[in-house]
Amino acid sequence: MSPKKRMTIHDHAAEASLFKRRALFTFLCVMAMISILLYNLYYLQVESFKDYSTRSNDNRIRVVPVSPNRGLIYDRNGVLLAENRPFYSLKVLPEKAKNLADTLKQLQQVIELSNDEIDNFNEALKYQRRFKPLTLKSRLTEEQVAVFSVNQYKYPGVYVEAGLKRYYPFDGLLTHVLGYVGKINQKDRARLEASDDWKNYAATKDIGKQGIERYYESLLHGTPGHLEEEVNNRGRTIRTLKSTPPVSGQDIYLTIDINLQKKAMEMLAGRRGSVVAIDPRDGGILALVSSPSYDPNQFVHGISGKAYRSLLNDDSRPLINRATQGQYAPASTIKPLMALAGLEDNTIDEKTRIWDPGFWQIPNVEHKYRDWKRWGHGWVDIHHAIIDSCDTFFYEMAYKLGIDRISEFMMPFGFGDNSGIDIFEESPGNMPTRDWKQLKYEQPWYIGDTISIGIGQGYWTATPLQLANATAILANHGRRYVPHLLRAMQSQQTNVPAPVDERPPIVLKDENNWDIVNDSMYRTANKIRFKDSPYKAAMKTGTAQVVSVAQDAKYDAKAIKERHRDNALIVAYAPYENPTIVVSVVLENAGWGGENAGPVAKAMLDEYLLRPKTSGKE
């Protein structure tokens, strides 16, 4: 018998329940997925619409910045000092050139191309899309442009593009005033990014590096414009959708008088030194010359390493702005201020007289401090001490005043601090104090240090700008202005005057002391240099030792190196009754101040006060 077949009994209720649970689970999963899909659809189409729309437009629309034209710079009479001149470069559009290698070879027959230019072009071509132009040669001459234009039809895809670059028509005459513009480097980029100005320089390749160009960069640069271009997925331009023109930088007018600047450079005649002229009525700089100078135009297109090293290693240091960075012993040019300090402190008065045998000694000390006149000046009062530049008189006065009172009195005249002039290249000089010497040399202050300070030697150093500024304050009877170069800015065809910064005046206990000292400076000028001048002037010369001379030795310029000879200095102003110009001159290693710096100061005052009215002087 065959075994019985097992009977299977189906539980339809259980199977139906299982089916329902599975169907419900599947349905919920499907609904959840549909919900997620709908949410994503809502998120993409509604909530993220603006974001993705913008991204889409960013891929489709390219914004190309357009650089603005740089503002122009004029002197006080409207003479153009810095302009923008067109320059030409040779461009190649690779996709339109039939055979680049042959094209470059044929181009060499028309325009001189160096191996470096061709190598640089081929290297850049490796990383550039073929529908974007590449520069083959920059700075074409007008002759090269003309020759190529005649033959351009032979070279499809090659064309000349014009642009604007800074140009300084006076070459090195104003270099230390204007500075120059140069290519933006990593240091410039970091500074711009830190100030959030980088977006304004997206299309700009140059930036002010020194002088006025750097200080007033924000005025001169302008506001960039932009082009909105529609591009395909490969970045090729299809059409221009919108154009916003750039806004040119502001034109600015300086206080500089170009004719006076020329006269200063002419009088320096290539010698190492500086001339500064200030209008004491408002602190405007009329002339600021540092010699030797250099041509700033060579920096605009990028100076070669060889040329820059030549400037950097030049013993005459043309890169230094001697007018604001040169630190010199002021020598006898500060004797009027020392006399004023003595009068104000009641250390001396107008009747004070001392006997000058040709030297001075600290009580109970053997060392002799010599006068420049070996046999002395005899009896000397304050007027003769300034007129004849008697060292002995000021040795004794410095001894009585002491360094603390001297430093305290001189600092309001601008010594030992930046003047505030509107260029960054400035040194504060040094007005020494006890604390300064202790910090710098870890030595106490000695009485002998004070004696040297009394005649503007020793640790005291000043820039030519500081000497001119201090003399302007003296001529103004204490009124003080911050020296400045900016005179006006052009806004909507109207010149807007720059504000004048006047500081609190120096007030003396006895206002008559101003007249005593200025009268001595007038007598000094009238004695020799300005004796026959049609205007009245005041002045003080100085001769500063560069190296010390032994106690009993006689200074002999011919026996020492040229770089160790004395510096010649002078400060002067005119007209005496109502000063309109103050001049300081420093000639390095030139010797006697009156003999060498004096003619320079005289020529500057003559140029400013005696020239014909038609020359543009205001």
Active site residues per annotation: 332
For the stretch 590-594, contacts whose Cβ atoms lie closer than 8 Å and that sit 24 or more positions apart, written own/partner, are: 590/271, 590/273, 590/565, 590/566, 591/543, 591/557, 591/565, 591/566, 592/543, 592/566, 592/568, 593/331, 593/332, 593/333, 593/541, 593/542, 593/543, 593/568, 593/569, 594/528, 594/529, 594/541, 594/570
CB atoms within 10 A of CB 36: 10
Contact predicate 311/510, CB 8 Å:
no
Q: Determine whether the annotation assigns residue 390 to a binding site.
A: yes
Structure tokens at 618: 């205001």
Structure tokens at 449: 């240090």
As a whole number of angstroms, the distance between CA 84 and CA 168 comes to: 9
CB atoms within 10 A of CB 65: 17
Contact predicate 569/597, CB 8 Å:
yes
Interhelix angle 335-344/391-401, nearest 10 degrees:
40
Q: Determine whether the annotation assigns residue 29 to a binding site.
A: no
As a whole number of angstroms, the distance between CA 364 and CA 322 comes to: 41
Angstrom CA distances, 455 to 422, 443, 450, 601, stand at 31, 22, 9, 21
Helical H runs in 253-325?
Answer: 258-268, 297-300, 305-312, 322-325
Q: Determine whether the annotation assigns residue 377 to a binding site.
A: yes
What pairs with residue 285 in β-bridges? 278
CB atoms within 10 A of CB 122: 13
Angstrom CA distances, 282 to 81, 476, 584, 609, stand at 22, 10, 17, 17
Angstrom CA distances, 280 to 519, 572, 576, stand at 18, 12, 12
As a whole number of angstroms, the distance between CA 498 and CA 484 comes to: 10
What pairs with residue 230 in β-bridges? 61, 239
Contact predicate 517/527, CB 8 Å:
no
Structure tokens at 111: 């325009």
Contact predicate 81/219, CB 8 Å:
no
Element (H, E) at 107: helix 100-107
Annotated binding-site ranges: 356, 371, 377, 390
Annotated binding-site ranges for Zn(2+): 356, 371, 377, 390
